[in-house]
Amino acid sequence: MEVKSETLNKSAPLIAAGIFLGLGLGGFVDGILLHQLLQWHHMLSNILPLTTTANIDLNMLWDGLFHALDLLLTVVGVVLLWRAGGRDDVAWSSQTFVGSLLIGGGLFNLVEGLIDHQILGIHHVKSGPNQLAWDLGFLLFGALLVAIGWIMIKKDSRVRS
C-alpha cells in the first residue's frame, strides 16, 4: 500500500499539469466545436437569445471571456508541466499524463454542465425538445472521461509499484 501511494505522490506534479491542461483543452473543444462550428449555443444564449445585434454582441463577448478562461487554464497547465519537467523526482508516464488529461476534460464537462446548463440555465448543449437529453449526455460523457482517466492512472501506479 505504501508503494502505490508513493508512486502516486511522485506522479502528482504530472497529474496536476495534466488536469489543468485537460480543463483548458476541454473548454476549447466545447467553445470551438459547440459554440463556433456547430453553433448549438453561446455562453448566454438561453437568457439572451440571438435575436438582436446587442444580444449577439453580448454572447460573443461572453464566449470570448470563456475562451480567455480556457487559455488561462491551459497556460497554468503548461507552467505546471514545465516545472514538473525540471524535477528529478517526478515519475513520468504517458499513461498517467493522458489519464490526467482525460480527468481534466471530464471535470470541465461536469463543472460546466452542472453550473451553466443545470444550475444557472444560461445555455444548454443543444436547446430544443431534447435539451435535457443533450445536457445529461454531456454530463455522462464527462463522468466517463473522469472514470477512464482515473482507471488509467491507478493501473499505471500499480504497474510501477
What are the tens digits of pLDDT across the range 3-40? 456 667 899 999 999 999 999 999 999 999 999 999 99
Mean pLDDT of the chain: 93
pLDDT category of residue 157 using cuts at 50, 70 and 90: confident
- How far CA 102 is from CA of 1, 15, 67, 106, in Å, comes to 25, 11, 19, 6
The pTM of the full predicted model, rounded to 2 decimals, is 0.92
Tell me: pLDDT of 97 over 80: yes
Distance CA 160, CA 146 (A): 21
Comparing CA positions, the residue from 75, 99, 101, 137 lying closest to residue 23 is: 101
